[in-house]
Amino acid sequence: MFLIMFFAALLLKVVIAATLSPFGDEAFYWQESLSPAWGYSDLPPLTAWLIGLSEGMFGHGRFAMRLPFLLIGAVLPWQVGALAQRLSGEAVRWRAATFALLLPLVGSMGVLALPDVPLTFAIVLATHGLVAALEANRLRDWSLLGAGLAIAWMTHYRAAMPMLAGLLFLLATPRGRMQWRRPGLWLAMALASLGLLPLVIYNVAARGAGLAFQLVERNPWRFHADALVQPLEQAAACTPLAWIVLMWALWQAWRRRGEAPFDVIAALAGSFIVLYFVLGLFADDVRFRAHWPLPGFVLLCAVLPTLLAPAGRTWRRFAMAAFVLAGCGLLAGLGYLGLAASPNGARVLAGVKAFPSNFTGWRESSDAVRGLQAREPSSLIVADNFMLAAELRFALGGAGVIYSLDSPLNTKHGRAAQLAEWGSNEAGLARLAGRRLLLVVDETSLRERERRDWLVSICSRVDIVEPVLRLDLFDGRRRFSVYDATARAVPGPLHSPDDCVVWRDAYRASILPVRSSSGQGDTGVAQ
């Protein structure tokens, strides 16, 4: 049953990965892969390195960009099965792997080229090494622990959490305290520190830009009560009944924490779930965070079959039903992405609140820009934010630089420092004052309360000559406009809303009905 579900899910993921437009962050990671470095303002280097390696081998494209992540994501359920086998024997291996596969965030992992894929892989790998080292104290197992932690550090700053979870295990449990005198532990820490080297090298050269974003700029560091809903977010991500079962598994592992291997799982999984909840009360309050504790839920899947064995029949049936529903959630999630991958499917979603805006509109906008650029090949292309710039560059094959205006999105997502390093921000554009531009504006990239101020400010950042083209897509859920413009050496005076053509056009489009469709997803085109 596991193999049937595994290959069915993998086939769906391959089809979606080959057709779904890049997520905005994905496109930027791809853009980072064009400039190999020890790190970037948003992340350590491994995500970009994987993309660059794959595209170097297989050429440019959506599937090539995502292939390493598809392969790593496919390995994860097998990792959980292997860990369950080591913890409790062969009998529970395939049940644990099936439980992990049915979790929507695990079963769909790898469809997108995101750092959470290698990060989760690395954490499970490190846990496998730790469990084996506790049993046999072999250097190869300690080395596996160190390698997993090194990969985690090269992937994301959230590698600090498995380090903290491991430290709590070493301090708070009898078996953990016995490890401090073992040379293997220090070998593992030495290997883990190698993964820190790229992060340190980058931050020293960039004056701490990555650390500043991750530790200061993205976090308010004050209590915000809206974060109390984190358990509900996690329940939605796991599906509610599966989340209840996994929290029961955590409780049972904690009750049996005096026994091996439940002490390891209780300490590690509990740290991910509890500490991320506490951190979330004071940290990032604007981004999706339900995936933060995912490694904890994955580790709980490894012990869940063992914990269910002595439970009553009614509870076991409830757990099985819960994961059947989780599988339905996985299918629904993959179906949602499948609809987003198709212009006609995206049109079906145009009327729902959960419209996949981050996956839509890029094909149409890049096709329009490609046609305009063919008529004016000497024109520079400038986007009004980093995400649109990366998407356009991906769609146009990566040739040449696409500049980005200094949108609030650039700072919010930690990309402003990276754009400045590349010279593709407004400061770099200012050195080309007087050059002809094709300015592409995503009028729906910001929230409504932020939109007017930003669009009005564009008129002071470049000299607008005339509107060239407008795209109203998916019943107005996505709107793009293109302007003939010239670069400025310094910003001009601020305009009133009535005097700024960018804002006037956007406002007029927002209050008028979408014009006649032209085939792909209710695409109204005015030129």
User: pLDDT of 407-459, one tens digit each?
Assistant: 999 999 999 999 999 999 999 999 999 999 999 999 999 988 889 999 999 99
Q: Give the tens place of pLDDT for each residue, 306-359.
A: 999 999 999 999 999 999 999 999 999 999 999 999 888 888 888 787 888 889
Taking all residues of the chain, what is their mean pLDDT, rounded to a whole number?
92
**CA dihedral of residues 71, 74, 76, 82 (deg, nearest 10):** -110
**How much is the pLDDT for 290?**
85
User: What's the pLDDT score for residue 513?
Assistant: 58
Q: Which of 75-84, 363-372, 503-512 has the highest mean pLDDT?
A: 75-84
> Taking the mean position of all CA atoms in its chain, how far away is CA 305?
30
User: Phi/psi class of residue 20: alpha, beta or left (left: φ > 0; alpha: ψ in -120 to 50)?
Assistant: beta
Average pLDDT over residues 244-248: 97
Q: Give the integer Cα–Cα distance in Å for 218 and 222.
A: 12
Percent of the chain at pLDDT > 90 equals: 78
Give the containing element (helix H, strand E) for 448. Answer: helix 448-461
CA distance linking residue 103 with residue 238, whole number of Å? 6
Confidence (pTM): 0.94
pLDDT computed for residue 433 by the predictor: 92
Which two tokens mark 16? 């979606």
Instruction: Give 170-204 pLDDT, tens digit per residue.
Output: 999 999 999 999 999 999 999 999 999 999 999 99
> Alpha-carbon distance 139 to 113, whole Å?
33
Q: What pLDDT does 518 receive?
A: 35
| 478-487 and 436-442 strand pairing | antiparallel
Average pLDDT over residues 78-98: 93
Q: What is the pLDDT of residues 489-523, one digit of tens each?
A: 888 887 788 889 999 989 888 877 554 333 343 44
pLDDT tens per residue across span 18-74: 999 999 899 999 999 999 999 999 999 999 999 999 999 999 999 999 999 999 999
Higher-pLDDT residue of 475, 118: 118
